[in-house]
Amino acid sequence: IWGGGWLAEAGFHDFAGSTAVHMVGGICAAVGAKLLGPRIGKYNEDGSVNAIPGHSLTLACLGVFILWFAWFGFNGCSTVSMTGDETLESASHIFMTT
């Protein structure tokens, strides 16, 4: 990862840059959440927690179904090319375990 850094020297293998992408995204999200603080209306004047209910169950379900459907193509096609028997077998295993 990152051109022979200490993780690469330790034998770490980053498939398709997924660790780099998710680590940078997670760190940015944590810093952003710390800077912005809690949502407006999350806490009352006395510090007690205010439950904020979901706003649209229909849109939440639609988002879940889109992710479920798209994830098969995303994971299965991450073998980059499907030209040989080995890559086709790998893609079939990925599709079945997703």
Q: What type of residue sits at position 5?
A: G
* Ramachandran class of 84: left when φ > 0, alpha when ψ lies in -120 to 50, beta otherwise: beta
The angle formed by the CA atoms of residues 19, 5 and 11, to the nearest 5 degrees, is 70
- Model-level pTM? 0.57
DSSP lists the bridge partners of residue 49 as 43
One digit per residue, pLDDT tens: the chain, 98 residues? 667 788 888 888 777 778 888 899 999 999 999 999 998 889 998 989 998 888 899 999 999 999 988 887 777 676 666 677 777 777 777 777 76
To the nearest 10 degrees (0 to 180), the angle between helices 57-76 and 85-97 is 160
